[in-house]
A and B are shown apart, each in its own frame.
Chain A
Amino acid sequence: MSDLAAPPLPTLKRAGIGRARLPAWELLGTALQGLRTRRLRAALSALGIAIGIGAMVAVVGVSASAQANLLAEIDALGTNLLTVTPGQTFLGANEVLPDTSVPMIDHMLHVQSDVATYQVSSTNVYRTSFIPAAETGGIGVDAAGVNLPEVVGTSMAAGHFLDARSQRFPEVVLGAQAAQVLQINQVGGHVLVYLGKTWFQVIGILKPALLDSNLDSTVFISLPVAERLFGTQPNPSEIYVRADQNDVVGVSNLLGATADPQNADGVQVSRPSDALEARAAAKGQFTTLLLGLGAVALLVGAIGIANIMVISVLERRGEIGLRRALGATRRHISLQFLAESALLAVLGGIAGLALGAGATEVYAVTRHEPFVVPMYVLIAAPAAGFAIGTIAGLYPAAKAARLSPTEALRTT
């Protein structure tokens, strides 16, 4: 540039001129100041981010609450229920549990209670004798022990379960869905159903059995009656076992060999709460569609912030020129606008967190479900705001840094 024959001059650093500096907290203070002077505008542009993040937090929160509710229900029913069913032979034929399996299981250690059901085959239940035989309504008939409701963790919606009298007389208890199909919702006044060519008195209706919904579409009679009227064999079709909570796995491992010592492999043991918990976890997965809507709101919010920041840069050319004159580097200027944009979106994110948590709370209260917002959301919401604000601020910040300070200062 210069062709002066002058001795080389010391560089600025060596000459001890301090560098232009802007410590992080000063940057934050500057960004905060910038937002505070334009409160309404800042609030409105943060609102876009708040709505987007609020929607996503609500989706996550509502899903988590619903999941927590289901898990709590499962917990209340107990996760210590095991079921024993006959498996299939190597060739695909059905195995049969020996009639000794229930007394054998009764004697196991760590078994609190157990009850068996026995399939009453080729027998259907109808509301009256005039209903065509083919219209079974998909309802099965089982013989059951008297303690079935307490072992599977359900209770009566009406009437009472099978008792000592039921061992001698044709009495029947309906599962929840079976009662619906038969259009019976109360047991008073001598309600009868036509079961295997015999009239049975309905003495009770069960509430839904969450741990085994097959029971809902079944009606129950006592085993002696079933043996007498329908020739049912005393081989259990399913045994429900309540184990001590801390020994569920141990009991589960021994159940096969206990139920059928000669053919332990032909016995299937499962834990219904496992399947339900898996289903609850699936229910907790928030719906992609709603999350997508939240993402669109976020995108619109981000564009809003970028838009506001570009306008802000144009309006504040004077300030930018002044700051350059006061010693700000281009980087300081771009950092200032980036910080403003990021701070704006972080505040929006925090507001969105509050909005989403509030929406979840309303949902949970009205549905009588537990209020759950996953912990990671507390970090993720402001972090998402930070990321969005930083990206939205990139272009305005670059634009601010490129402004010529002299041109900006000419505007008086």
Chain B
Amino acid sequence: MGLELDQVVKEYPGDVAALRGVSLEVPDGDQVAVVGPSGSGKTTMLTIMGTLERSTRGSVRVAGHDIGSASDGELAGLRAHQIGFVFQGFHLQEAMSVVDNVALGMLYTGQPLGQRREVARTALDRVGLSHRLEFKPKQLSGGERQRVAIARAIAKRPAIILADEPTGNLDSRSGGEVIDLLHRLASDGATLVLITHDERIAAGFARRVQMRDGEIVGDHRA
């Protein structure tokens, strides 16, 4: 199941091709680092895997479901229940407490707030932030903020975790901690796809996919 991309092409208006026929299979539980220069199509591939965008051509299957034939509502359901995103810019809600930020990650599953908060506390415990529950994001360090964002992504136990340069705004030490955390959390069965341009981080992954100019130019397994 996992993720399957077959001859995926993504074109934007004005004949800009971000992806030029990408085929990639990521089995359940795999951890993959995607590396490549900026503009190589890494983020586009990730958003298509995350069903935030549809491909122009080619087929995409996420957790065994054909994305091409699914409605927007069905894709949203898939994101709500099965996919966790981690962004470079954290995207935390500044007005909400840490625990509510994590609970927001499950808002669209329809669970009641009390239950979501309960799960959020557990998730924050797993990322080592149980002492920061009622803090506001701006009271936290960059590494802590990204750990909150990770807790938000993993709280609902998604089948797939997609991380786009999660260490891009962090110093190398807290960046390393974040990567360790992602490895550890994903190792209980989630598929992890992580974009980075940091070769050292990529080196820590069993599988590395290299992209350039909208194509996959390398797929190495350690």
Contacts and interface: CB of A to CB of B under 8 A. Distances in A.
Contact of A327 (B47, B79, B89, B169): B79
A162 B136 CA distance: 87
B105 interface: yes
A64 B50 CA distance: 61
A247 B65 CA distance: 84
Contact of A11 (B47, B55, B74, B94): B74
B135 interface: no
B69 A324 contact: no
A29 B69 CA distance: 33
B80 interface: yes
Q: Could you say which of B55, B68, B77 has the most chain A C-beta atoms within 10 Å of its C-beta?
A: B77
A326 B153 CA distance: 8
Size class of the contact patch on chain B: 35 or more
Contact of A18 (B58, B81, B89): B81
A328 B93 CA distance: 16
A12 to B, nearest CB: 4
Contacts of B81: 17-18, 327
Given A12-B74, A329-B73, A406 B52 contact: yes
A29 B109 CA distance: 15
Interface string B34-55: 0000000001100100101101
Interface majority SS (helix, strand, loop, mixed), chain B: mixed
Interface string B143-154: 000000000100
A20 interface: yes
Contact of B52 (A1, A33, A325, A411): A325
A1 B57 contact: yes
B89 to A, nearest CB: 3
Nearest to A16: B81
B113 A29 contact: yes
A1 B169 contact: no
B53 A406 contact: yes
B77 A18 contact: yes
Contacts of B110: 18, 21-23, 26
Contact of B50 (A20, A319, A325): A325
Contacts of B68: 1-2
A166 to B, nearest CB: 85
A409 B165 CA distance: 12
A10 interface: yes
Interface centre among A18, A36, A326 (most CB of B within 10 A): A326
Classify chain A's interface size.
Answer: 35 or more
B221 to A, nearest CB: 25
Contacts of A330: 72
Contacts of A36: 95
B108 A21 contact: yes
Contacts of A33: 95-96
B74 A13 contact: yes
Contacts, number: 142
A17 B61 contact: no
Contacts of B87: 322, 409, 412
Q: Give the most central of A11, A319, A325, A330: most B CB within 10 Å.
A: A325
Nearest to A328: B108
B95 A17 contact: no
Interface string A4-30: 101001111101011111110010011
A321 B108 contact: no
Given A9-B64, A12-B77, A22-B110, A329 B72 contact: yes
Contacts of B80: 18-21, 326-328
A20 B73 contact: yes
Given A329-B73, A406-B53, A17 B104 contact: no
B76 A328 contact: yes
A12 B68 CA distance: 11
Contact of A409 (B66, B72, B91): B91
Given A2-B59, A26-B107, A325-B50, A17 B72 contact: no
A318 B77 contact: no
A324 B78 contact: no
A325 B66 contact: no
B167 interface: no
A149 B58 CA distance: 99
A246 interface: no
Nearest to B46: A406
A17 B57 CA distance: 24
A37 interface: yes
Nearest to B165: A412
Contacts of B196: none
B203 to A, nearest CB: 25
User: Quick one: which of B82, B91, B109 has the most chain A CB within 10 A?
Assistant: B91
Contact of A19 (B73, B82, B105): B73
Nearest to B55: A1
A395 B206 CA distance: 48
Contacts of B47: 405-406, 409
18 contacts: A2-B66, A9-B64, A17-B65, A17-B78, A17-B82, A18-B109, A19-B80, A20-B108, A37-B95, A318-B91, A319-B91, A323-B107, A326-B79, A326-B80, A332-B108, A406-B43, A409-B89, A412-B88
Given A9-B66, A322-B87, 18 more contacts: A1-B57, A6-B59, A10-B65, A11-B65, A11-B69, A17-B81, A18-B77, A21-B110, A26-B110, A322-B93, A324-B76, A325-B85, A326-B85, A328-B108, A409-B47, A409-B87, A410-B43, A412-B89
